[in-house]
Amino acid sequence: MTIRRNTILSRVGLIGLTLLIGAMSACAGPSDDSAKHAASASSSGQTATAIFAGGCFWCMVHPFDQLSGVISVTSGYTGGNTVDPTYEQVSSGSTGHAESVQIIYDPSKIGYAKILDVFWHNIDPLAVDAQFCDHGDQYRSAIFTSDAEQQKVAEESKAKLQASGRFDKPIATQIVPASAFYPAEDYHQDYYKKNPVRYKFYRFNCGRDARLEEVWGPSEH
């Protein structure tokens, strides 16, 4: 994604990006923190963790960040063999890691099944070792389960989607046990908030929202 993402962002200057914002209203943008959890800990005193890979982690933060009951969403790397990898290493495809997000949530306010449903509706489940304009196994879609219950719920949801008749191809999303999760560099965290213009331009040019509408319909993601 380094080459593809940087190529997209370098094609236009800040003025051109600003002019494009109006045409990108369907893309995700910064959420209002007052409408969000904005909490550092669960009010129930308990937390749970969900980890997903859905291509560019810039684009996977906002869908979960805006959910009531979600405490934090961290961009990072998981599923590979390299300890504490860098962005450059992961994006080269040499580590086995996928760009991922780690979601900490309050299970008394939101369930894993709901978070999983949001995940499905923000990926292309048919793409093999790719998501939208990004290609390579570092951009594969995957569900990293932390226990037997998450595994069961994930497997059931995948089977239900496959049997729904919506898709004419097999669902390519992997379901695998979670392994070490390594947070990405600071500049990748909350990218949609820190760099909203560049984020929207990248998301638009990558064809993410157009493909999501093809897969899920205009009102389902």
Which one of 56, 59, 133, 206 is the catalytic residue? 56
At residue 151, what are phi and psi to the nearest 5 degrees?
-60, -45
56 is catalytic: yes
46, with CB counted inside 10 A (0-12, 13-18, 19+), is exposed
Q: Are 90 and 41 in contact (CB under 8 A)?
A: no
Nearby residues of 4 by Cβ (< 8 Å), 6 or more positions away: 133, 134, 135, 206
Question: Which tokens in the block code for residue 122?
Answer: 């923000």
Q: Which residues are catalytic?
A: 56
